Structure 1
């Protein structure tokens, strides 16, 4: 597993075709699965997601039955344009409402990302055995780190690597459908409607990524 992740890191970081005329694309609506792992292969979380690209809304529910004790049990509903998110506990019908200080997430390329090049994963000469991806990179001042993101020609994310001053992890996207299968997942649950906005401790940066660091 570690060798596979190392190879993916190498491929993503060695894209060499630079072009200034490329502009970041924006992913369509999506439903799929997301895996977050440390560069050593430890699972941080794995679960299903629903993403509304126009409304800038994301629901991520990690699978607590995933066969590893390191997977986090999370249910997050994020409203990036509004700058708020909810941590939901459906079992206990409870909820926490918090402010988002950083809206970056692995399903969309930031507007200030830099195009690094195009790479072929697999074999471009054998039909059905390769995929062409664009690689985008950028910094994350709020998190004191940087990222490298690979997306398909249709702007579907494949993997994103995050390098923080104290950690590094990779986000992989699989089984993607370019539609919202269950719109109700992006509606605030009744148990959250009356929740007040919690105060953010000084020095804390709430974001989708910080939930796993």
Structure 2
């Protein structure tokens, strides 16, 4: 795992001369699966997500049926435009409402991201054995953390690396479908309505990425 990530980062950081000047593309609506792990190879979460790219809403639920020893069980509903998110406990019909200090998320390419290069994952010379992706680099203003996002030519996010002070987090997307299959997942549950925003402890940065630290 470490070698693979190191190689990927090396390609991104040494591809400056190959960079063109594409403008960041806009992700479509998506339903898919996401795995999250750190640089040590620890799987933090594996789950399913629904993303509304226009309304900037994201629902992520870790999949408790997966045969992996994940360290996190999450059900979160992110409202990036409103700057809040909800941690949902459907079993106990309760939730916590929190403010977002950063709206950056691994499913969207920020408007100020820089096009670093276009590379092929797999083989470019064998038909059907390669995937051409654009690599985007940037920095999250609120946290100063660096990121590298790879997306298909149709702007589907394949994977992203987020370099934080304490760790590096890798998000990988699988089984992506360009539709919202269950819109109700992006609707706030009735038992969450009217919840006050919890106070954010000093020094805490709430963001989707930081949920996995």
Would you say same fold, with TM above 0.5?
Answer: yes
TM range (shorter): over 0.9
Indicate whether 1:54 and 2:76 are aligned.
no
Match of 1:34 in 2: 34
d(CA) in 1 for partners of 2:165, 2:202: 20
Query: Does the residue aligned with 1:8 lie in a helix, a strand or coil?
Result: helix
TM-score using structure 2 length: 0.94
CA contact (8 A) 2:12 2:116 kept: no
CA contact (8 A) 1:49 1:61 kept: yes
TM-score using structure 1 length: 0.94
CA contact (8 A) 2:139 2:146 kept: yes
Match of 1:98 in 2: 98
Deviations 1:5-50 (A, max 9, x none): 4443344444341223x11101000000111111121101110000
Deviations 1:132-182 (A, max 9, x none): 111110112422320111000000001100111111111111100000000
CA contact (8 A) 1:15 1:119 kept: no
Deviations 1:101-158 (A, max 9, x none): 1000000001111110110111112121001111110112422320111000000001
Match of 1:167 in 2: 167
Distance 1:107 1:66, change over 3 A: same
Query: Does the residue aligned with 1:47 lie in a helix, a strand or coil?
Result: strand
Root mean square deviation, CA, Å: 1.5
Match of 2:15 in 1: 15
CA contact (8 A) 1:15 1:135 kept: no
Query: Does the residue aligned with 1:128 lie in a helix, a strand or coil?
Result: coil
Match of 1:196 in 2: 196
**Alignment of structure 1 residues 136-147 onto 2, 5 Å:** 136-147=136-147
Q: CA deviation at 1:65?
A: 3.2
d(CA) in 2 for partners of 1:157, 1:145: 19
d(CA) in 2 for partners of 1:34, 1:14: 27
d(CA) in 1 for partners of 2:198, 2:172: 31
Q: CA deviation at 1:68?
A: 3.3
**Which structure 1 segments of 5+ residues have no match?**
none
Query: Does the residue aligned with 1:143 lie in a helix, a strand or coil?
Result: coil
